[in-house]
Amino acid sequence: MTEELEAIAAAVRKFAESELAPYAVTWDQDKHFPVDVLRRAGELGLGGICVGEDVGGSGLGRLEAVTIFEELARGDTAIAAYVSIHNMVASMIDKAGTAEQRERWIPGMAAMTDLGSYCLTEPEAGSDAGALRTTARRDGDGYVLDGVKQFISGAGSSSVYVVMARTGGPGPRGISAFIVPGDAPGLSFGANERKMGWNTQPTRQVIFEGVRVPLSQRLGEEGDGFGIAMRGLNGGRLNIAACSLGGAQWALEQATRYLQTRSAFGAPLISQQALVFQLADMDTDLNAARCLLQHAAGVLDNQGADAVKVCAMAKRFVTDAAFTVANSALQLHGGYGYLSEYGIEKVVRDLRVHQILEGTNEIMRLIIGRALVEEAA
């Protein structure tokens, strides 16, 4: 890493160690969403990491972003993942928005005084995002939105919702994107879902019942929504992979310390060669994952022709490897790994969903495979 990147990592690590790590288990148990801490993260420049400096963002690249999210996740995987989603929303507005939209919506998001949510998935449209049913009907100088979004992180606490809705015919080309404020009349939310992990961030349905959106809040042109959503997911996939990497790295370090202090059959566990070999494999897997993730970040920064494929590869490989390492760290703790006070079981629960969201890892394989076929044609 460059000196600048090392300084960024050190600053984020200090924030994660002081503001996130001491409270992560309690927040998880209480299902507490620490909005005040997120605002302090915004003061550090973490609300608009890859957003232009002219509207309050940090103006950093994807390599810096994945480094930041790895460090954040060492403090709290679930909060780091929400910050990832928030940044994806801010970046979508930054990249696809007009000058007026950028100036109106991004400064508050960059400061994290205004939180953001990404609204694509629906009860009957998950991996098949092109089949979404939420509609945006043209009405005078604006649109009227009706429908339901599912599994929306930050819902009910966010101030800005980027929503994909159908303005045209079936399929991806009929989808447009809209910016909807959290206080819009007709906007409501379902109950906070009870989940396996990610308990410290709210996950709710977002319900649109005659929500009026002026033309000035359409993001891009009609029919651009699916492309905007997919381009946003390229960066989102790298960020969520980095969150997996950070959580797994922390779990590996905890397991290493545990084996050094725990004895069995008259000797420290660390003296057993089989366990040392397992630590070595875990460390190797995480370093391989980090190399692929950093490579993908460079490809995306340079707008490489194969960016979609490489981002899918990184998301699939890193989240799978990280979950396996975290689960192995729990196993190395024995029964203590199953206790909430050690924090390992929380990381395992939090990382499991990373293999599902931002496109399931099965869909990542489909993207990679199709790209291979096209390259061979």
- Positions annotated as catalytic residues are 358
Using alpha carbons only, give the angle 300, 125, 317 rounded to the nearest 5 degrees: 40
> 226: exposed, middle or buried (C-beta count within 10 Å: 0-12, 13-18, 19+)?
buried
Pull the structure tokens for residue 196. Answer: 């396996």
Question: In which residue are the tokens 């604006």 written?
Answer: 142
SS3 197: coil
Using alpha carbons only, give the angle 234, 248, 79 rounded to the nearest 5 degrees: 65
CB count in 10 Å sphere of residue 338: 13
Distance CA 173, CA 179 (A): 19
Phi, psi of 51 (to 5 degrees): -95, 150
Pull the structure tokens for residue 77. Answer: 């995987």
Cross-strand pairs, 203:
153
- Structural contact between residues 47 and 41, judged by C-beta atoms closer than 8 angstroms: yes
CB count in 10 Å sphere of residue 153: 22
